[in-house]
Every structure is written in structure tokens, then in C-alpha cells.
Amino acid sequence: MSFRITNNNIQFTKVFLLFCLPFVALAASSSQAQGSGISDIEDSVIKIYTTQAAPDYFTPWRLLTPRQSSGSGSVIFGNQILTNAHVVANASYVQAQKHNDPRRYLAKVTFISHEADLALITVEEPGFFNDLKALPIGELPNLQQEVAVYGFPMGGKSLSITRGILSRVEQQVYAHAGAYLLAGQIDAAINPGNSGGPVIVDNQLVGVVMQANSGGRAENLGYFIPPSMIRHVLDDSQDGISDGFPDLGFRTQTLDSPAAKAAYGLSEDQNGVLVIKVFDNSPAQGVLQVNDVILQIDEFDIAEDGSIKLSKEVLTDYKHAINLHHVGEVVSITYSRNGALGTTELLAQKALDSYSLVTGEQFDQIPEYYIYGGILFVPLNMNLIKRWGNDWSRTAPVSLLQARNEWSSPDRRQLVVALQVMAADVNLGYHDWRNWLVDSVNGEIVKDFSHFAALLKENQQDNIIFENTNGYQLVINHDAAVSSEADILSRYRIPAAYSADLFQE
């Protein structure tokens, strides 16, 4: 079969080429724009180096050995770099490095939210941000949508880009500080060093990579902080003071049981959560009562399992409806009391450090302690419990772990631990006592650690009797404790008998 070139063929070819050229040019232009967008994102991802020296809660006058670590961050508006709080927590030295730039620039932390595991840092070096574009903050992606994760994982110096599918959105316990907040899950492993890096869809930041809290049971999964939590923290940062996520002062349990629903006056088509605790001096005190059923918060109906619907595909815990508010805002509540409907508005207040007798984990703070009669007393908090290692839930003393299940109150806000005894004549008979909870001092119930320290310092009695809830007693002669203090501190090389800020107003 032969093909003969004619004038008509040549003319058709010219017309065809003229017709196709605009589309070729458009495709080339689109490819260049996409490449430019990816390049801008890469330039906006920052590697962060930190030297961290956390306090040693077993010997609270000392620091643990400083360690070097790295993480990732991304440039956002206002010459700010958004990263994880755990990347810069307890940091004494922070540096930032741009993509394809070997130089490290001195950086400083300007705002931190340990609850949300987010922090803002900046670099004051002139011109640092000149060639960097701020990433716009987008919306939460749809389930099953592909996302890209940018960061600098351990094991190399170059920027890494991984992709995954958004597989789940729900409340999760954040690994850094234990807060229970909304999180996204993607089916891609995220390695150390990626922490703080941006999650990107359509050239917009839709999440910040964070630590997993799966306890080692889940593989090839990554977690990120979603846009609603990011915006909450950015709004909170405007005045430079961290108010955190608010609390209304009540606790609940689910009402999955039909018998329980009927017992509290709900009809078959009503659902909600049962109020089991209302804290003193909280927004809910005097308004809500134990055994009320919370049916709705703002426009969110609460299901029998305590969930609310964020979209057709996304359900999460009702506490997210409260987390969307800032301190000082009004939250609308619809509830049932013995079958009768009621509505009210509660003014959201700043959450307490802890609603149990075990204070939540703290960062960037000097631990409190008091040495009396050679005995080291400390407040019970999660920093101390976690000092027993990664498997602290099994290795920490049972009595300390059980205290997490006890509610705090204005009369008893915190527990005190006799952590260890530094052997001396003044404490003969108690040298092997460890991790002992103190309930009262000379018969007076201990409210918190400040109250405990004041009882010791202002004591006028001959002896101090420390007693626990089971009636066991530890007795120290007051004069002997005072006279032996200098010798004990010198012998055990302890700089002071108590932490520097303990008695400051």
C-alpha cells in the first residue's frame, strides 16, 4: 500500500499542527506551573535542629544529658515557621536550615502549644524569609484523598516527599502531652525527623505531621494535626499567651445501653452522654447536675456512643465541639434531666493543669522538690511517672498509677510523693522507703505541693508526722532535720534544699 504526498496532505498537516500547538503550549505551561508550585513548597519546608536538656524528675535539681535531635517545619504567614511542640520542647538551642542551603540559622521559639503539639519559631537573620513563600492553610481533605508529606527524616540530609491516603479522621490521644484532640491518619509510615513537616494537598498546608501514639501496634501509619487544630493555635497565639483548649468542667460516659437510656428518661429516638462528674468552681457548676444527659453541643447532635458528625463520612468524639471554641466564648448545651429538656449556655474557661490528682505532663519548666530530714519530696505528676521509661504503665509503682483515677477538688488538688531517702542519722529506720504517697502532715490533709512545703517550713512542733491513707506513719524530728540539712546537702552534692521558685509569690 503506497501513500502519495499531495498539496492537500501538506495543507491538512499544517492546519492540524496549528490546531494542536496551543494545546501543547498549554500542557507545557501547566507542567511548568506545577513544577514551580512543587519547588515553592520544597523551599518552604525547613529543617530544624535542637539541643534539648530535659529535667531529671528522679533528681529534680539536675538535667538529663543534653541530646541533639532534628525535625521539620514549614513557613507560614508573618515570617513564622510552624512545627511540632515536641521538636522544640525543653530546647536550649534551636537552628533552622533552608532546603538546599548548608547554612544553619539561629532560631527562637515564639509560641508553643504542648496540648496540640504545635509551635511557632522564627529566624531574625535579615533576608532569611526573602526567597521563601508562605504556605496557605487549606481545609481538611476528604477521606481516601491522596496527600503528600514533606520533611527531613532521619538517615539523610535531603528533603523527602512521601504520599499516602487519608484513611481516618477522629479524636486521638496526642503522644506529646496526652491531649485528646482531632487527628488525621494516613496509610504511610512517617519516620523520626519528619515531625513538624507539612501535609500538602493542592499546594496548601492541610496538616502538620506529629508523633504516633499507637504503642507500637500499628505499622505503616502516620498521623497529622488537622487544619481546625492548627487555626485554633494560630488564633490563640495572637496575644502571645497560650490559653489552650477550653473546658466546661464536667465529665461523661456513653449511653449505649437501652436500659440506661430508659433509666435516665430518654425516649428511643434520643441519644446523648451521661454526666458523671461536675467540678467545683467550673462553668458547669450549679448549671448541670450528675445524671443529666447532654444531647447536643452547639449544632452537633451527640450519638449514644458520644460521637458527633463532622461530615457525611467523618464522626468524632463530642469533645471536638468544645475544642473548636476559645477561652471566653459561649458554648450552647441542650440536655435532658429526668426526661425534661433544658438548654443553657456555658462560658468556656481555661482548662486546669489536671482534673485528676496526678498533674499532667509539663514542659519547659523547672521541677519542684523539697528535701526535709534527708527525704526527697516531690509532687506527683506525669513527668515523674514517665521517668520509669517507655513502659511506664507497667513499671511505675502501682500506687502512683492508681492515683490517676482519682478526681481533684479545691480541697485536694495534688498528691505528694516521698520519692527517696538519703540515708542519714535523722532518718534512721526509713532508709529503704521509696515512692510513698503522703496524705497528711501532723494530721492536716495536704492540698497540693505548695501547701505541703509551707507546712514544713512554718512548722512549730517538735516532730513532723507524715501519714498515708492506710495509716502508716513516717516521723522526723524537726530540730534534727533543720540542723542536719547542710550536712546532707553537702554529702549528696545537692545545691539547695528546695526548688528555686517554690516559695516565690
Q: Average pLDDT for consecutive 10-residue bins of the chain (505 residues)?
A: 45 43 42 56 95 96 94 97 97 95 96 97 96 96 95 86 94 93 89 91 96 57 95 96 95 94 93 96 96 97 96 94 97 97 96 89 94 98 96 96 94 96 97 97 97 96 96 97 98 96 80
| Residues annotated catalytic, as ranges | 86, 117, 195
Per-residue pLDDT, 3: 41
Where do you find CATH 3.20.190.20 in the chain? 370-491
The DSSP output letter for 312 is: S
For the residues of 356-405, what is the DSSP string, one character each?
A: BSSBPP--S-PPP-EEETTEEEEE-BHHHHHTT-TTHHHHS-HHHHHGGG
pTM listed for this prediction: 0.88
Cβ atoms of residues 439 and 468 within 8 Å: yes
d(CA 198, CA 216): 23
Structural element, H or E, at residue 25:
helix 7-44
Per the structure block, which three cell numbers stand in for 299? 449544632
Q: What is the rounded end-to-end Cα distance, in angstroms, of the chain?
A: 102
Q: Which three cell numbers stand for residue 275?
A: 454526666
> Where does 193-319 show beta strands of DSSP type E?
198-201, 204-210, 222-225, 246-247, 250-254, 273-278, 293-297, 300-301, 307-309, 315-317
Beta strands in 434-472 (DSSP E): 436-438, 440-441, 444-445, 463-467
What is the second-level CATH architecture of the domain 370-491? Alpha-Beta Barrel (3.20)
Q: Residues spanned by CATH 2.40.10.10 within the chain?
A: 146-239
Q: What cell numbers appear for 443 in the block?
A: 494530721
Every domain range in the chain assigned CATH 2.30.42.10: 246-347
Is 242 in a helix, a strand, or coil?
coil
What pLDDT was estimated at residue 505? Answer: 57
Look up the CATH superfamily of 246-347. PDZ domain (2.30.42.10)
Q: 60: closest CA among 474, 414, 368?
A: 368
Contacts of 470 (CB under 8 A, 6+ apart): none
SS3 assignment, position 467: strand
Q: Where in the chain is the domain with CATH 2.40.10.120?
A: 44-123
Q: Among candidates 110, 99, 105, which has minimal Cα distance to 126?
A: 105
- 146-239 CATH fold: Thrombin, subunit H (2.40.10)
> How high is the pLDDT of residue 213?
62
**Rounded to whole angstroms, how far apart are CA atoms 37 and 30?**
10
Q: What are phi and psi of 281, to 5 degrees?
A: 60, 30
CATH of 44-123, one of 3.40.710.10, 3.40.309.10, 3.40.50.1820, 2.40.10.120: 2.40.10.120
Closest CA relative to residue 397, chosen from 419, 367, 421, 376: 419
Please tell me the number of Cα atoms within 13 Å of 399 on its side-chain side.
15
